[in-house]
Amino acid sequence: MALRLVADFELGKDVLPWLRAERSASEARGVGSGGADVVENDYESLRVLNIERNGNIIYTYKDDKGNVVFGLYDCQTRQNELLYAFEKDLEVFSCSVNSERTLLAASLIQSTKEGKRNELQPGSKCLTLLVEIHPVNNVKVLKAVDSYIWVQVIKNSGHLQRDRIAENFVWAQWDMSEQRLYYIDLKKSKSILKCIQFYADESYNLMFEVPLDISLSNSGFKLVNFGCDYQDQEKLSKHLSLCVFTNHAGSLCVCYSPKCAAWEQITYSVFYIHKGYSKTFTTSLKNVGSHMTKGITFLNLDYYVGVYLPGHFFHLLNVQHPDLICHNLFLTGNNEMIDMLPHSPLQSLSGSLVLDYCSGKLYRAMLSQSSLLQLLQKTRLDCEKMATLHCALSCGHGAQLLEGQIIQWISENVSACHSFDLIQEFIIASSYWSVYSETSNVDKLLPHSSVLTWNTEIPGITLVTEDTALPLMKVHSFKGYWETLNSNLENVKYAKPHFHYNNSVVRREWHNLISEEKTGKRRSTAYVRNILDNAIKVISNLEARNLEPRLTPLLQEEDSHQRLLMGLMVSELRDHFLRHLQGVEKKKIEQMVLDYISKLLDLICHILEASWRKHNLHSWVFHFNSRGSAAEFAVFHIMTRILEATNSLFLPLPPGFHTLHTILGVHCLPLHNLLHCIDSGVLLLTETAVTRLMKDLDNTEKNEKLKFSIIVRLPPLIGQKICRLWDHPMSSNIISRNHVMQLLQNYKKRPRNSMIDKSSFSVEFLPLNYFIEILTDIESTNQALYPFEQHDNVDAKFVEEAALKHTTMLLGL
């Protein structure tokens, strides 16, 4: 199942055996009465009453005399303790105990039998008592109210505040871990959600108000997480479901499912308050029947909200990035994973805790990476692949192992998706999550997906998106969660554009630098040196992250073009963060930038190495005397897909990537296909790759044709170097052409110098003799202007010999 429920506590295993042992011990001492049947009847009323902020669990049951008994299970010591017993037949709705276990607060009413009035207080539905359970029993009445209330034990029991926190509300939810009270107040038929934050010093603030487009006027009164939602479970499906979820990243979601008039389809809404809009989902149901006594359960799963209807569907809604529907995962009742969840209603508590009230089991809910990986491998829908990939990467724990498994799957299914580029999406999403926790505003500055729009429908799901009002914040000083939420609201309020980084500036600057290199007019060396120093930092950071030797020959050459691209991305991304991450120290930003770009490169290396390993190219040696194998062609194919993925985003590649790609292309492709790939930019000729070809290939007719075809496609500066490595008339011809072009580019015709020694020309070929005479004259009179030391004794004599050899070769003599 995509959702994994780990049982932290179970009444039947952690409490009941202890209670039975205590009862047996009491009976052995002559205290207590009743046989086994009476004992079991007592414990039928055993239920969880409250999960305290420290994780301890308070439970209650009624003994054979109808007395209400309170017990506590210590989550640290895993021991039970009886706290107190009321010698009255009362119904308990909430309870709490202080950390010293000296004060017990309980909200309760007397069981109302038919025709019997409440005897606690006329007109009162609930009475709250503060009991000193150690060292002596001292009962104080906190307050009697006309509805159910929740209590928390305060520090100073001698001074009880009489402040009225809220009144006239129809719905309330208590967040134990964060000490927040959410409630809805009806004003002029509008539902106004409010939140009160309580602090350790017993002060509190009303944090915000926000109108919700929901109808609660006729729904009746409901409390969420007050006494763990102790209500008539049979009526759950007849009432609306409403709950509020937050996470540390500043999200605020209100999940709402109205009363169901018919079960053919289910509608529920999620108000993404931190985004300024709501989404209403409608899903059709199949095989409506036995399970429809159950209602919808909403679960807080950090970056996701789980929506669960037992036996029918389980949806995972992306809270952090809800813009595109493809980032949500919709599993239907036909999915075997859903049947693994309990069919009883689940109550989402603070944090990731989930209570199965019927069985008394307390679970810790988390997304199952292994199940998500299985789903990724099995599903055929692109939308589910997209959603599952993001969901798995967001889990965080065991990231390296999970990434390795996803990469292995990608290497085997690189063409599995048609709606998006799988490699591209994985690289962007995984790099994003690798630095996401560094600062709260990263989600506004870095793209989490390569997909900007999604128009394909999700089978069985219809979606309506509507703008909603933003909360009116009631305080002016924010800390922690509230500061992050307010930052999110500010972005929505002032319609700030997306600040997601892209490489457009890097693309433009990189092309400028490459153009300058070709023309020999590059700007100051200090500027270029600074960019290359950035690249050195990235590669050092990358090597520090991965201490194991790499299988592939990457990061082993200079590849100045990729280093320029890498260094430019460091510079631009650093400036981007400095502009928008106020208050974050420069050193931390610098490291975050290095980590992000290192992650990009590392993922590319790992994708290639997974294919390398799969095709058993561990000890791969390039042999030019045979055609490329199927394994080499498969690696060449995935390298081409990696290149396509990075090109559109203009991401750097590990130095050595283009060299390996070109060599594999030479080995695997026919010449015309190879040259087409070079001309179309799929293969980039690096000096390292071409040097190896010139040295390793012999001068058969086929190889001569290949070498010449490659040399003529090289940039002039590299071409001049490479030609000297090939001892062949064709190479000499190219060198001669370059030499002549440089000599004659500023040549002006002058009177001939008749003093030149004609005997130096050994061949009577008048056009050639005349041309060589001109070149010799230029060389002798302008030697200072043409210092061709780098040309390895290239002169008019060399040009003459090359011309004759080339002519002879063309004539077949």
* 810 part of a folded domain: yes
Among 115, 147, 162, residue at a domain's last position: 162
In the chain, the amino acid numbered 369 is Q
Which of 108, 129, 162 is the last residue in one of the domains? 162
Q: Is the full-model pTM beyond 0.95?
A: no
Q: Which residues contact 221 (CB under 8 A, 6 or more apart)?
A: 147, 170, 171
Name the residue among 511, 787, 554 with its Cα closest to residue 659: 554
Q: Consecutive 10-residue runs of the chain (813 residues): their mean pLDDT?
A: 86 91 79 54 81 90 85 94 85 85 81 47 66 82 62 65 75 88 86 91 89 77 69 52 91 88 82 95 75 74 90 90 94 66 79 85 89 90 94 81 91 88 95 86 89 89 93 90 91 78 90 80 82 94 84 83 94 92 89 95 93 80 70 92 93 93 90 91 87 80 80 71 62 61 60 52 57 64 50 58 62 59
User: In terms of residue numbers, what domain contains 76?
Assistant: 6-162
Report d(CA 573, CA 537) in Å as an integer. 14
Other Cβ atoms closer than 10 A to 239: 17
**C-beta of residue 104 within 8 angstroms of C-beta of residue 111:** no
Q: How far apart are CA 180 and CA 94, in angstroms?
A: 16
Quick check: 482 and 352 in contact, CB under 8 A? no
HSE-CB at 766 with a 13 A cutoff on CA atoms is 0
What distance in Å separates the CA atoms of residue 740 and residue 497, rounded to the nearest whole number? 57
Residue 726, phi then psi, degrees to nearest 5: -115, 105
Q: Are strands 138-145 and 190-198 parallel, antiparallel or unpaired?
A: unpaired
Q: Is residue 539 part of a domain?
A: no
**pLDDT at position 120:** 46
Q: Is residue 36 part of a domain?
A: yes
Neighbouring C-beta atoms of residue 549, cutoff 10 Å: 5
Number of domains composing the chain: 2
Assigned domain for 569 exists: no
Report if residue 221 sits inside a domain: no
Amino acid at 614: K
- What's residue 118's pLDDT? 47
pLDDT at 115: 41
* DSSP code string of 444-506: HHS-S-S-----SPPTTEEEEEEE-PPPEE--S---THHHHHHHHHHHHHTTPPP----SHHH
- Bridge-based pairing of strands 222-224 and 169-175 is parallel
| Assigned domain for 439 exists | no
**Domain closes at, from 142, 162, 182:** 162
- According to the model, what pLDDT value does residue 384 have? 93
What pLDDT does 683 receive?
92
The count of residues in the chain is 813
Is-contact 60 228, C-beta < 8 A?
no
| Per-residue pLDDT, 790 | 47
